[in-house]
Amino acid sequence: MEIKEKHTEKAYKEKEQLSCPLLKQGCGGCPMLALPYEEQLRKKQKKIKKLLGNFGKPQPIIGMENPWHYRNKAISTFTYAQGRQVKSGIYVQGTHHVIPVENCLLHHPALDEAVRAVRKAVREFKYPVYDEDRKTGLVRHILVRHSLAEDQILAVLVTSSPVLPGAKAFAKRVRQLCPRITTLVQNINERSTSAVLGYKERILYGKGYIQDTLCGIRFRISGSSFYQINPVQTEILYRTAAEAAGLDKSQTVLDAYCGVGTIGLSAASRAKKVIGVELNKSAVRCAWENARENGIQNAQFLCADATDFIRKMAAKGERADVVFMDPPRAGSTPEFLRAVSSMRPEKIVYVSCNPETQKRDLELLTKDGWQVKLIQGVDMFPHTEGIETVVSLARK
């Protein structure tokens, strides 16, 4: 089976002798770690063909040149180890038992460095660890994000209470331990829930966000922002989507499920106009800020339900030439897909992180007169079973 050679044998050999001790302890973060990377790509290509092959011949999956340390985001949960020493790590798969983690083969090394710094400061300030059963303690999680372009780190300390004794001194100590942390945020999660982040936060140091560059566009990244975790492959993913759309600066592009505008803004230079639609108000505000900071004047973002918005466009006789859609893992809805068809765009470009729900949606679209023109897999998550696919469709 042909695979696009975007990785090297050397990259795997540098790591193939390494064994991860976390596997034996129940970590489920890298279920394909034992397989050579070439074999991982073959398995993923086979799955794409099985799920989507009836719609057309899938192109060879695009793998990574160096499939290690690609993650730009990590979450570490606090726990007590032997002797009541504060540790932090990852949950054992399917449980709430925490395995202490010092290093991860998928994290950018800066993430582990930042986690160690925050954890050390927590020990020094003697903050108690939150106990889920007793609902006691203070510190719950550390969330860290890294900007590959700027080499900056955002660190978020999640607490069960807004009261953080010695907060200014704590922030200063964290910065001493890890100068790459350019902003430190306290997030307050007072809920008895498995959700990591709460709704309230305060900035302890810096601006409260970092910036990264993707496809030549600078984006703000906060603790709660949706932002792809693999910046190297995301460039390939979005470039593939833009090329599949065949943009030549004459088209109006509708970016449904637009989030903070990553796909729409990255395609704006090739389009006449970009309209982004998103239900999350915070994401829409970020999308406007990202457009303004990059001087992009041919993009607008609206807070609305995408299905209702498209129906209203169609009722007014308005249309978009190209529709980008990047729905959550659950996929789209029949109502949305029918609304898109009623607007009669020239092309649909469907980006998915779940080819199983994508298959279901493609069946509806093909029955409604659409034809699949491209199926392209991109390996966004090496050593895991995750698959990202770009599918373009045109009217028959």
Burial code (b: 16+ CB inside 10 Å, e: under 16) for 39-53 equals ebbbebbebbbebbe
Token pair 């979450």 is at which residue? 75
Which is it for strands 152-159 and 59-62: parallel, antiparallel or unpaired? unpaired
Sheet holding 347-352, edge to edge: 59-62, 370-378, 388-395, 347-352, 322-325, 252-256, 273-278, 299-303
**Which one from 30, 104, 258, 353 is the annotated catalytic residue?**
353
Which is it for strands 73-80 and 139-147: parallel, antiparallel or unpaired? antiparallel
**Token pair listed for 123:** 């020990």
Task: Return the beta strands (E) in 222-344 as ranges.
Answer: 252-256, 273-278, 299-303, 322-325
CB 283 within 8 A of CB 260: yes
Residue among 64, 48, 88 nearest 4 (CA): 64
286 given a catalytic annotation = no
At residue 120's C-alpha, the angle toward residues 113 and 72, to 5°, is: 25
CB 359 within 8 A of CB 391: no
Four-residue CA torsion sign, 90, 94, 95, 99: negative
Known catalytic residues are 353
